[in-house]
Chain A
Amino acid sequence: MTDQSGVLNDVRQGMIPAHIYNDKELFDLEKERLFSRSWLFVAHESEVPQAGDYVVRHVLEDSFIISRDEKGEVRALFNMCLHRGMQVCRAEMGNASHFRCPYHGWSYRNDGRLIGLPFHEEAFGGEEGFKKKGQTLLPAPSLGVYNGLIFISLDPNAEPLEDFLGDFKFYLDYYTKQSAGGIELRGPQRWRIKANWKIGAENFAGDMYHTPQTHASVVEIGLFREPKAEKRKDGTTYWAGNGGGTTYKLPEGSLEDRLRYVGYPDDMIERMKGQWSQAQLDVIGQDGFMISAASLFPNMSFVHNWPRVEEDSDDVHPFISIRQWQPISENETEVLSWFAVDKNATDEYKELSYKAYLMCFGSGGMFEQDDVENWVSLTNTAAGSMARRLLLNGRMGLLEDGGNVVEPLTNEQYSGPGSTRVGYSEYNQRELLTRWADHLERPIEAAAQLKVGMTAVRKTSKSGSASSCVAAEAPIDEAAETVLLGA
């Protein structure tokens, strides 16, 4: 394998070897060292509200059944039959008490337990030949939930989800906890773009700089009062924990005035006041900033915007969207885009907010179309040999001597956690790429193997330090403890 240390060092200096946006070898390394280790978003609890509900989601090639079992616990089960490896569940979503493998008919409960094994006696010699008891579809090695967002990691030793999120939780609450009810989701819409997955994640994390140019036409037709050039540079970028995003500067006024300005009705404002901490309220009411787009490392993004929806009215309507940049290859990405809305909002609000979302984002959204043209073209150009000679300058906000063009806001100026600056910069893109480099540099430990039906769990790790996901004979409750970290 090619030594990538030069590439990773350049990235840490803010210089980006252009080929990282279309490079097969780097993509293989991302698979091996990043996506096999990091926490990754798979679904929201509101997508599986009832016992038996499930959705099937992917982490690269691995398919997982995200199900709610009969006891109400959320599970993430590797969608591969323990017998000869057929996909156990072939629907995308549904409700089932059992999953039955279509190949030879083994059946599993929705908590993953193997229960039906045709001709167990005759073919396997019963329990003596093949221990059926305690067998379960392989659970995701780590599972965690925050505000109903379900994350998994393929690393059994992943740090707890809440530690990984860190101070980004402060900002996550604006999108996913506007009231005690939390959010409900619609979607996802899925579509594929011929672009590298990192580009979207970087764009949503901190690219306020592209808005006036790329989205000029959207601003011109007057549907948005916000993305004007002079407005965007008054906003901030922030980075906290393992995520960061952008904000808009709000006009003068009280907390209530400012929330009304972006279109929130009074009943929602009241619930926000009851839900958010004083610091969370102060970022809006005192400091005057409203969150917009954001990304959580490595490939999850958020949007909050407030367009005019009806042509004959000046009213704006806010919407929230969650999305994932699911890598397909070094030059192709599946975009999953959900509409999210406060569960306790009125039906009328939910409908208007949904309209606002569809207008801006989602496969037919106006912002979407503008962005994708750039990203596809960038990815194409990054494949060639000339791109290998080019180190892009991703140092916006830094002086040549390493000093800052703009210093971070002080605690007096800004109430939120993390590092926050007014104006255009690429600190957040650098934060993402630095984490990317950290993962790519660090070899992974070999994962434990499960020998289905056999007593020994063989470890492939030479050092012997990898721990088993779930021992073959582990009774189900013990297995559940292993997977439900932080749930």
Chain B
Amino acid sequence: MPVVTADLKACQGYANCVMAAPDYFDLDDDGNVVMIKREFPESERSRVTEAARSCPVSALTVSE
């Protein structure tokens, strides 16, 4: 299954990913992204990819 991963050093807490896919991403109290799940089914690909691409500092990567 494809996975999405976060680079915690890069994350700046913009929360774009949280707005786009709140079932995959959350923010902790320090403003760092928290992954709710990493793996996603093929049917979710466009939504999760959109969420990853919405990150202004490219902290999220989708890989196979």
Contact = CB atoms under 8 A, between A and B. Distances in A.
Interface of A: 96-98, 100, 105, 107, 109, 113, 115-120, 132
B15 A100 contact: yes
A98 B14 contact: no
B56 interface: yes
A98 B14 CA distance: 10
B30 interface: yes
Given A113-B29, A115-B15, 15 more contacts: A96-B19, A97-B18, A98-B19, A100-B14, A105-B14, A105-B56, A107-B14, A107-B15, A107-B18, A116-B13, A116-B14, A116-B27, A117-B31, A118-B56, A132-B31
Contacts of A116: 12-15, 27, 31
Q: How large is the interface on B (under 10, 10 to 19, 20 to 34, 35 or more residues)?
A: 10 to 19
16 contacts: A96-B19, A97-B22, A98-B18, A98-B27, A100-B15, A100-B16, A105-B12, A105-B14, A107-B13, A107-B18, A115-B13, A115-B15, A115-B27, A116-B14, A118-B57, A132-B31
Contacts of A100: 14-16, 19
B26 interface: yes
Contacts of A132: 31
A168 B56 CA distance: 53
Contacts of A96: 19
A48 B28 CA distance: 24
B26 A107 contact: no
Nearest to B14: A105
A119 B18 contact: no
Nearest to B26: A97
B26 A118 contact: no
A107 B55 CA distance: 13
Given A100-B15, A116-B13, A116-B14, A107 B56 contact: no
Interface string B24-64: 00111111000000000000000000000000110000000
B31 A98 contact: no
Contacts of B28: 115
A122 to B, nearest CB: 9
B16 A118 contact: no
Contact of B12 (A98, A113, A119): A119
Nearest to A121: B12
A303 B14 CA distance: 46
A115 B18 CA distance: 12
B41 to A, nearest CB: 23
